Structure 1
Amino acid sequence: MVRDSDKKSSSSRRRMTRSKGTTLQTESPERHPAILTALCKWTSAGVDHPQAATALPPSGGGTQDIQSERQQPVLSEPPSRMDSTPPSTCWSCYNDTDINSFYFYETEQFAILWLLFILIVFGNSAVLAGLQCRKKPKSRMNFFIMHLAVADMCVGVLSVLTDIVWRSTVAWNAGNTACKIIRFSQAVVTFSSTYVLVALSIDRYYAIKYPMNFSGSWRRARLLILLAWSLSVVLSVPVGFLYHEKLIQGRLQCWIEFPDPWQWQLYMTLVAMALFVLPAIIITICYAIIVFTIWAKGRQYSQKATNDETRRASSRGIIPQAKVKTVKMTFIIVLVFVLCWSPYIVFDLLQVYGHIPRTQTNIAVASLIQSLAPLNSAANPLIYYLFSSQKTR
């Protein structure tokens, strides 16, 4: 009897112990702020959403401290001018909000992406079709426009359309090899869209600065295009190595991550320099020289030439009428390029260096900026139409 009593008492104590353990395990997280904070940090890598080229990078599975997380960039990767995702959940975790708040402007982003895809594909298709149907002799300007339209078309198909599909499926289902190839391809077309524009600017500089030097002009144009595409490929090679397929909270993602904040800062600084800062400087210098050259030649002819000579000069495109057109075209090209890329680059750099706090408003702004990243590829065809009447050789 004593043994049976002891067994019952021992069994009762074990049941009570299990009951207490169960209570601790199932207790509401609201009673344990530390647990809630840890869970938020663990989910802060944005695992509920596919990470694209412009998405917030993962925080390493919650192994970093809060200070490190605050220095993670909102937009981790360029060459996908063009491939954004819903913002990461980590910002909302700091504010203890519901997970539905992570999908900022989801409907609006889908609408913007579909609109950009249609404009990019149909606009650049029209440009290519128009170039093929022209009866005039092939010009170097049209040669550059053709390559720029091809690059912009690829941005729409490889980046924007891929982003739309990924937003719909959430998980990455194409495998590790496809992850690397698609990311690499997105980077190539993103850089090429920018560097073909740089090549065009350099060619226009030579055409205006040395208008009578026709020898080797086509060879120079082909060399500039070859350099533009080659440089785009070289700059995109690291992307193929950095991205890889990774299982995140039961979902496969095409992922990129760096263990330390300074590595993100270095990465994004190099991306900003290669994708925006250096091209913008080169384009601005080229067109500044173009404008000054046309202005100087126009002034020279207005002072020394007779009326007949002035008319002949006008036909060669080196006096005020052409100067006005070039100034307008220069202003629009540079302005559109800067306006399309500066919000993306500036916001990204400010965030990666810790100058933008993680708030609901900022993450909403980031999501909209990411969606508008491919805007330059949609705007380029419009520029061609506006200046299609301008004589080019």
Structure 2
Amino acid sequence: MDSLNMTVHSPCSVNGTGNGSDDGECYEHYEYDYEAALDTYYWTELAPALAVYAITYVVGVVGNVLIIFTICRYRRLKSTTNVFLASLSSADLVLILICIPVKIARLLSYAWWMGEAMCKIIYYLQAVSAVCSVLTLTTMSLERCYAIINPMKSMYVCTISKAKKAILIIWVSSFLLASPVIVVQVNMEVGNEIRRAYWCVRDFDNGTLWQGYETYMLVLVLVLPTIIMGTAYSTICLAILSAVVARRNIHANGQMGNEKKSSDGGKQSHRPSHEDKTIRQVVPMLLVVVFLFIICWGPILIVNMLKAYGAVPPYDMTLKHWITVFDLMSYFNSCVNPIVYGFMSRHFRKGFKRALCFSDHNRELTLSRSQTQTIKMSTRQSPGPNKEPATVNGNSAALGRKRIEYGRGFHQTESMRTETSFCHV
């Protein structure tokens, strides 16, 4: 069978009115061997991209599923911040599960074969996931800022029930705010009357609509969230620094005499170093959040807008690899979110260990239950006049001494108490 040459038309620029001309002045024409292209793969270009997509997919799915499972499995992990983290992981998981397989399929195919309806639906769901992630990140920054600035009021304002309502509003708003992509994403026909193919791309013929959409997404996903999150996290950093300075002054001036007289003054002298450690952990984490968001989402959004305004050709081979890298970076943000928000948190690390080490967790629960039963049996018996009674509340006992005897010679110390809460990140 003879090879078939196809002529593909693509806009080389968009004029001031946003409409391409029909005389071919604003279009470039190029031909390629369609039949040969179906069986030709440039693995030197595809292999690195496929490897990065695969790593991002595996790490993103495992990390986000682990966060969702940990929060849902352990009720004591549920707090306003962790509820937002579960929503963020859900949005990131949808983005990874939908976007990366489609990107891999597009890398291995020169045409869109899923039809016009799937072209709009898939890109709409991708936009929903991206917008939902952005809105969740922004809401989390505002919630954290309010909780640190107004710690007492936040106990009544930043509740789990209100956080769930906020998440519902975020998801509904995301479905509405992402709807413009349904109009601007089209199933464009390429080829000739002999052999036709389709590409799922932006509507090049409607330049005004294309420009408006890319500008809208740049402002919605990058500009406004960056301003809001930057302001919120800057306020948090200043509040933490001012609180640390105030505490240091109190310890240096008000408790200096007590430290000299107290035999346990060594513990108090370590407080400044503990606060310095808090600064080294919390402040860099907040800065990393904003930095990763800007770095991962900024390039692809800016390039898309430049393409819409004609500053960058839509099909420039010199920028092809850079655009692929920029796409990967936007997905990489969803991949690293579990690391930044989960693995950098001491309480979440403990929750992950409990989720992964089922044998240790079950052994700890069995030990706790047996201890509780022994305490109940001991309290039912009439204690001697020299023994102090133990009161039971849930799975823990409030003990009056450092060491108390349970049943047949079993001793329990306060250092063996089971941790009861991971509610704060």
CA distance in 2, matches of 1:101, 1:124: 33
Q: Is the 8 A contact 2:215 2:305 kept in 1?
A: yes
Match of 2:138 among 192, 195, 198: 198
Q: Is the 8 A contact 2:46 2:107 kept in 1?
A: no
In the other structure, the counterpart of 1:379 is 336
Moved more, 371-380 or 101-110: 101-110
Mapping 1:337-348, distance limit 5 Å: 337-348=293-304
How big is each residue's C-alpha offset from its partner over 1:301-321, in whole Å with a ceiling of 9 and x where there is no partner? 322464599x99x99xx9654
How big is each residue's C-alpha offset from its partner over 1:27-63, in whole Å with a ceiling of 9 and x where there is no partner? xxxxxxxxx9xx86x43379xxxxxxxxxxxx99994
Deviation at 1:348, TM superposition (A): 3.0
In the other structure, the counterpart of 1:325 is 281
Deviation at 1:288, TM superposition (A): 0.6
Q: Is the 8 A contact 2:9 2:29 kept in 1?
A: no
* Corresponding residue SS for 1:284: helix
CA distance in 2, matches of 1:135, 1:228: 23
Moved more, 108-117 or 284-293: 108-117
Pair 1:133–1:166, CA change in 2 (3 A): same
The reply on whether 1:126 has 2:83 as its aligned counterpart is no
The reply on whether 1:114 has 2:71 as its aligned counterpart is no
Q: Is the 8 A contact 1:294 1:319 kept in 2?
A: no
Mapping 1:306-317, distance limit 5 Å: 306-307=254-255
The reply on whether 1:177 has 2:117 as its aligned counterpart is yes
Q: Which amino acid aligns with 2:176?
A: V
After TM superposition, the score normalised by the length of structure 1 is: 0.68
Q: Is the 8 A contact 1:295 1:319 kept in 2?
A: no
Moved more, 222-231 or 189-198: 222-231
In the other structure, the counterpart of 1:389 is 346
Deviation at 1:65, TM superposition (A): 4.7
* Corresponding residue SS for 1:372: helix
Percent of aligned positions that are identical: 23
Structure 2 unaligned regions, length at least 5: 13-17, 260-266, 348-421
Deviation at 1:286, TM superposition (A): 0.7
Pair 1:108–1:64, CA change in 2 (3 A): farther
CA distance in 1, matches of 2:145, 2:65: 27
In the other structure, the counterpart of 1:142 is 82
Deviation at 1:196, TM superposition (A): 0.9
Moved more, 221-230 or 258-267: 258-267
The reply on whether 1:299 has 2:245 as its aligned counterpart is yes
Pair 1:251–1:162, CA change in 2 (3 A): same
* Corresponding residue SS for 1:136: helix
Q: Is the 8 A contact 1:45 1:62 kept in 2?
A: no
* Corresponding residue SS for 1:43: strand
Pair 1:161–1:101, CA change in 2 (3 A): closer
> CA RMSD for the aligned pairs?
3.8
CA distance in 1, matches of 2:21, 2:46: 25
CA distance in 1, matches of 2:180, 2:107: 24
In the other structure, the counterpart of 2:318 is 361
* Corresponding residue SS for 2:232: helix
Q: Is the 8 A contact 2:180 2:213 kept in 1?
A: no
By relative contact order (CA 8 Å, sep 6+), the higher-ranking structure is 1
Pair 1:353–1:262, CA change in 2 (3 A): same
In the other structure, the counterpart of 1:9 is none
CA distance in 2, matches of 1:353, 1:239: 17
Q: Is the 8 A contact 1:155 1:186 kept in 2?
A: yes
CA distance in 2, matches of 1:101, 1:43: 22
Q: Is the 8 A contact 1:44 1:62 kept in 2?
A: no
Match of 2:107 among 145, 150, 167: 167
Pair 1:254–1:264, CA change in 2 (3 A): closer
Q: Which amino acid aligns with 2:54?
A: W
Q: Is the 8 A contact 2:56 2:335 kept in 1?
A: yes
Figure out how many residues of one structure are paired with residues of the other and give that number: 315
How big is each residue's C-alpha offset from its partner over 1:149-168, in whole Å with a ceiling of 9 and x where there is no partner? 11111111111112223433
In the other structure, the counterpart of 1:286 is 232
The reply on whether 1:334 has 2:280 as its aligned counterpart is no
CA distance in 2, matches of 1:197, 1:237: 20
Pair 1:259–1:354, CA change in 2 (3 A): closer
Pair 1:360–1:374, CA change in 2 (3 A): same
Deviation at 1:368, TM superposition (A): 2.7
In the other structure, the counterpart of 2:169 is 227
In the other structure, the counterpart of 2:9 is 43
CA distance in 2, matches of 1:119, 1:92: 39
Q: Is the 8 A contact 1:297 1:319 kept in 2?
A: no
In the other structure, the counterpart of 2:158 is 217
CA distance in 2, matches of 1:353, 1:381: 36
* Corresponding residue SS for 2:200: strand
In the other structure, the counterpart of 1:207 is 147
Structure 1 unaligned regions, length at least 5: 1-35, 47-58, 70-89
Q: Which amino acid aligns with 1:278?
A: L
Deviation at 1:191, TM superposition (A): 1.0
The reply on whether 1:239 has 2:181 as its aligned counterpart is yes
CA distance in 2, matches of 1:115, 1:286: 32
Higher strand share: 2
* Corresponding residue SS for 2:10: coil
CA distance in 1, matches of 2:208, 2:75: 55
CA distance in 1, matches of 2:70, 2:56: 21
Q: Is the 8 A contact 1:60 1:257 kept in 2?
A: no
Deviation at 1:243, TM superposition (A): 2.9
CA distance in 2, matches of 1:145, 1:324: 22
